[in-house]
Amino acid sequence: MGRKSSLLIAGLLLALLPVAPALAAAPTVTGVSSPTTTGSYKVGSPVIEIRVQFSEIVNVTGTPTLELETGVTDRTVIYSSGSGTNTLKFNYTISTTTNPDTSADLDYKATTSLALNGGTIKNATAEDATLTLPAPGAAGSLGANNAIIVDTTPPTASVVLETIGSAGNATARSTELGNLYLVRGTNSPTSVNNILSLPANERTTGTAIATINTDTNVPAAMLTSGPYKIYAADVAGNLSAASALNVIIDAAGPNVAMVLVSTALSNSSRIAVQSNETGKAYLVRDTVVVLNVASITGSGDANFNEVTISAADTVTSL
């Protein structure tokens, strides 16, 4: 048989052999993110949805899991939906079971945190998905794509023990940023919503904290008389316990009286006055418009005299 004939036969044999198809590429994870708005979240906050996106449509059986880095106790969240799409969804509920969840920037624990848990994740041609995640904090990770803070620790609130009028301010502090609230001592709120549902004259609406552990003035306007506690709520909404000390609000003006004098008075004369509260009593020229103490003391020395009332319901010479 000639050389040309041999080559022809070899070529025919090769043509008849089956050609193996190219192996299909396995689906891979392209990123992890969440539709949850950037911010701080606490126990009781809405469920945080986490989405794992693949390079193609995948089909799921069973309940794959995703392990999150949430402090001392890491939480494992279970697949909820997404089979037949390229995005699988996992729902995370903040917890205090065993140890309170905490995270300055929520992310999964490792590149291996996505697990089948006895299930499967495959593409349309039954190729198993590659489950490797972007490194935590790196491009494509949950931490890089979102800024979700998990905060389950309430702040600590304190207040200066003092008595103030309804136009005064309580001097308070908090160990975290957020808001401060004055609440009448007969109430025991457990949340900000509890505070805001109280009668308006028994609580304030919230004073922003500009700096932690620094005195903040909390106005007492519109509050009724009585003992009040201070509460602090952090940015996530965690509410502190009541302050150890009270601030006393005295919203009622004192009652004052003087002995009727029927004779003319000189510059050296004294009149007898009495008040049901300690403080000061003022004798004011009737041409002065009195709105507050400042309107008296600012009217000029020739228009008023004053005396300290050191004992309530006791006659004092003015």
- Supply the pLDDT for residue 256: 78
2 belongs to a structural domain: no
Tokens 């609440």 -> residue: 183
- Supply the pLDDT for residue 2: 55
C-alpha 216: how far from chain center: 18
- Supply the pLDDT for residue 194: 97
- Supply the pLDDT for residue 166: 87
317 pLDDT higher than 70:
yes
Question: Do residues 92 and 75 both lie within one domain?
Answer: yes
Least confident stretch, 10-24, 200-214, 218-232, 237-251: 10-24
CA pair distance 148, 271, nearest whole angstrom: 69
For residues 131-150, average pLDDT: 98
Q: Which of 119, 134, 150 is the last residue of a domain?
A: 150
Question: Do residues 216 and 113 both lie within one domain?
Answer: no
Higher pLDDT, 77 or 251: 77
Q: Which residues contact 15 (CB under 8 A, 6 or more apart)?
A: none
Pairing relationship of beta strands 178-184 and 207-208 according to DSSP bridges:
antiparallel
Q: For 138, what's the count of Cα atoms within 13 Å in the CB-facing half-sphere?
A: 9
Q: What is the 3-state secondary structure (H, E, C) of 83-126?
A: CCEEEEEEEECCCCCCCCCCECCCEECCCCCEECCCCEEECCCC
104 belongs to a structural domain: yes
Domain that residue 222 falls in: 157-250
Question: Do residues 40 and 65 both lie within one domain?
Answer: yes
7 belongs to a structural domain: no
Other CB atoms within a 10 A radius of the CB of residue 54 amount to 22
Question: Do residues 116 and 170 both lie within one domain?
Answer: no
296 belongs to a structural domain: yes
Question: Do residues 34 and 143 both lie within one domain?
Answer: yes
Question: Do residues 139 and 161 both lie within one domain?
Answer: no
- Predicted confidence band of residue 274 (pLDDT cuts 50, 70, 90): confident
10 pLDDT higher than 50:
no
- Supply the pLDDT for residue 189: 98
Handedness of CA 62, 67, 70, 72 (dihedral sign): positive
The CATH code of the domain that includes 132 is: 2.60.40
252 pLDDT higher than 60:
yes
34 pLDDT higher than 90:
yes
Q: Which of 150, 185, 217 is the last residue of a domain?
A: 150
Q: Which of 122, 150, 178 is the last residue of a domain?
A: 150
Question: Do residues 143 and 105 both lie within one domain?
Answer: yes
255 pLDDT higher than 80:
no
260 pLDDT higher than 80:
no
Least confident stretch, 65-69, 85-89, 282-286: 282-286
Question: Do residues 287 and 263 both lie within one domain?
Answer: yes
57 belongs to a structural domain: yes
pTM of the model: 0.75
Give 68-113 pLDDT, tens digit per residue: 999 999 999 999 999 999 999 999 999 999 999 999 999 999 999 9
The tally of domains found in the chain comes to: 3
Question: Do residues 240 and 140 both lie within one domain?
Answer: no
